[in-house]
């Protein structure tokens, strides 16, 4: 089987393998890995390349990412469509799939925390909120 | 009248919902917002970053959009609010 790249959505650890680790070896969070492209992995690790990942590919990646989690992709298709447009515009113009509803600060470490999916589970819009969602609303707590 | 700024993103759903309320407020009152799109205009992004110490304590430690700032009082609101709350904030002395 072909190996692929995976990123921990909490601590940005990168994994290269046929499947993501269940447990992040660095931050110890379960089900934390989302598939990314090789180009994204290289950029996070200090390289740089064009990304060949369509919005449909990304949509599939986040669907798989959420499948074993307590949150899911927002069923509001119109909202998801707008957000995916913004995420890909941001990648084209600014290098990463930054959240369209926040602004990068130009601090490398701070800005890595804005890459979608971000670790929204610690944000006040989600943590402890029964109908919580990430700031932009791409991810919502599963009912 | 105080200088009111609105920072927003073109592909931000919260911002898209707030824009009609902002425009309604401008139609019904003398309130005016200087609107700055921050993902497709780097000057606007830098302007928002210049307010980081004022914005982040009110916005979960981050630069989120939409954000509204009264540059006279440094009063800030971020995210979606209803029309009455926006109006009361904008007209506050």
Domains of chain A: 4-141 (3.90.460)
> For the segment A78-93, what is each residue's pLDDT rounded down to a tens digit?
999 999 999 999 999 9
Question: CA-CA distance, B34 to B73, in Å (whole number)?
Answer: 16
Q: In what order do the strands lie in the sheet with B67-70?
A: B33-37, B4-8, B67-70, B75-78
Question: CA-CA distance, A64 to B17, in Å (whole number)?
Answer: 29
ipTM for the assembly:
0.93
Question: CA-CA distance, A76 to A84, in Å (whole number)?
Answer: 12
Q: What pLDDT does A2 receive?
A: 87
pLDDT band at A51 (very low <50, low <70, confident <90, very high): low
Question: CA-CA distance, A32 to A10, in Å (whole number)?
Answer: 7
Question: CA-CA distance, A4 to A1, in Å (whole number)?
Answer: 9
Q: What pLDDT does B2 receive?
A: 59
Q: What pLDDT does A47 receive?
A: 55
User: Residue B51: how many CB atoms within 10 A of its CB?
Assistant: 17
Question: CA-CA distance, A99 to B64, in Å (whole number)?
Answer: 9
Q: What pLDDT does A43 receive?
A: 86
User: Which of A85, A91, A96, A103 best probes binding to B when mutated, by most B CB atoms within 10 angstroms?
Assistant: A103
pLDDT band at A26 (very low <50, low <70, confident <90, very high): very high
Nearest to B68 by CA among B36, B23, B29, B20: B36
Contacts of A90 in chain B (CB under 8 A): 39
Q: What pLDDT does A46 receive?
A: 77
As a whole number of Å, the end-to-end CA separation of chain A is 35
List the structure tokens of B58: 């009110």
- pLDDT-above-90 percentage for chain A: 85
Helices B13-28 and A77-94, axial angle in degrees (round to 10): 100
Nearest to A142 by CA among A67, A33, A31: A67
User: Which of B12, B41, B51 best probes binding to A when mutated, by most A CB atoms within 10 angstroms?
Assistant: B12
Whether A103 sits inside 8 A of B48 (CB atoms) is yes
- Tokens 């740089």 belong to residue: A48
Chain A residue nearest residue B50, CA to CA: A105
Residue pLDDT tens, chain B, 93 long:
559 999 999 999 999 999 999 999 999 999 999 999 999 999 999 999 999 999 999 999 999 999 999 999 999 999 999 999 999 999 986
Q: Residue A48 pLDDT more than 50?
A: no
Concatenated DSSP letters of chain B: ---EEEEE-TT-HHHHHHHHHHHHHHHHSS--EEEEE-SS-HHHHHHHHHTHHHHGGGTTTS-BSSEEEETTTTEEEES---HHHHHHHHH--
> For the segment A70-124, what is each residue's pLDDT rounded down to a tens digit?
999 999 999 999 999 999 999 999 999 999 999 999 998 899 999 999 999 999 9
- pLDDT-above-70 percentage for chain A: 97
Stated as kind and residue range, the H or E segment containing A57 is helix A55-66
Whether A82 sits inside 8 A of B64 (CB atoms) is no
CATH number attached to the domain at B4-91? 3.40.30.10
Contacts of A112 in chain B (CB under 8 A): none
- The alpha carbon of residue A125 is apart from the nearest alpha carbon of chain B, in Å, by 9
Whether B39 sits inside 8 A of A125 (CB atoms) is no
List the structure tokens of A87: 């995420």
């Amino acid at each position: 089987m072909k190996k692929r790249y995976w990123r921990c959505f909490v601590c940005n650890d990168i994994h290269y393998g046929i499947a993501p680790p269940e447990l992040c070896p660095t931050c110890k969070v379960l089900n934390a890995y989302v598939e990314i492209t090789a180009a994204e992995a290289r950029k996070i690790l200090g390289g740089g390349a064009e990304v060949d990942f369509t919005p449909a590919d990304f949509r599939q990646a986040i669907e798989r990412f959420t499948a074993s989690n307590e949150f899911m992709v927002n069923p509001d298709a119109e909202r998801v469509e707008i957000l995916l447009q913004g995420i890909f515009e941001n990648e084209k113009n600014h290098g990463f799939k930054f959240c369209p509803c926040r602004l990068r600060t130009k601090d490398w470490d701070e800005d890595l925390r804005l890459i979608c999916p971000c670790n929204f589970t610690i944000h006040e819009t989600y943590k402890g909120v029964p109908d919580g969602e990430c700031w932009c609303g791409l991810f919502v707590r599963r009912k | 009248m105080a200088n009111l700024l609105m920072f927003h993103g073109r592909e931000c759903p919260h911002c898209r919902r707030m824009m009609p309320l902002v425009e309604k407020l401008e139609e019904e009152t003398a309130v005016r917002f200087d609107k700055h799109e921050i993902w497709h205009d780097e000057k606007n992004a830098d302007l928002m970053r210049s307010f980081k110490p004022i914005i982040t304590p009110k916005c979960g430690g981050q630069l989120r959009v939409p954000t509204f700032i009264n540059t006279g009082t440094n009063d800030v609101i971020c995210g979606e609010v209803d029309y009455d709350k926006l109006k009361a904030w904008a007209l506050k002395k």
